[in-house]
Amino acid sequence: MQLRLKELRESKNYLQKDIAEIIGVHKSTYNQWENNNNIPIRRLVELADFYEINTDYLVGLTNMKINRKGKSKLDLKEIAVHLREIRVELNFSLRDIEKAIGINNSRWANYEAGLYIVSTWILVFACKKSGISMDYVLGRSKLKYLKDLY
């Protein structure tokens, strides 16, 4: 996953400590995210909202930067439906997901049931594999496919 946090931060002339303060995390935590450590999906969306851009651009799924204004509200049930769509479009069983992603199939089943929020790296992998927009999965856009962004 190629997060574009540093590029975005520098384009707005912010320091890491500024962004950390704005979103309410310790500077070292933000520094880890900027160095491609796994950022929680809620924080990723919060940063995308702050920069008013699409998450697909933020995580490097596309080079198309789309302006998005407003605060996103994550709906676990909607995300769950979209995760199932990904699995069905890939023609994957839960066992296939387990093999492709390297996670326990019950974990994916819990994501599809809306019991837990999917982790960022798993969602990026699934979106890249399926060609489905991360913003669509997260309920931030009606455009379903990454190719529709162009």
Question: pLDDT tens-digit profile of 101-132?
Answer: 888 989 999 999 999 999 999 999 999 999 99
Q: Where along the chain do its domains lie?
A: 5-58, 76-149
**If one looks up domain 76-149 in CATH, what number appears?**
1.10.260.40
pTM of the predicted model, to two decimals? 0.93
Coil/strand/helix, residue 58: helix
List the one residue out of 127, 117, 136 whose CA is nearest residue 76: 117
Residue type, 143: L
Q: Can 5-58 and 76-149 be said to share one CATH topology?
A: yes
> Looking at domain 5-58, which CATH architecture does it have?
Orthogonal Bundle (1.10)
| Residue 37 binned pLDDT confidence (cut-offs 50, 70, 90) | confident
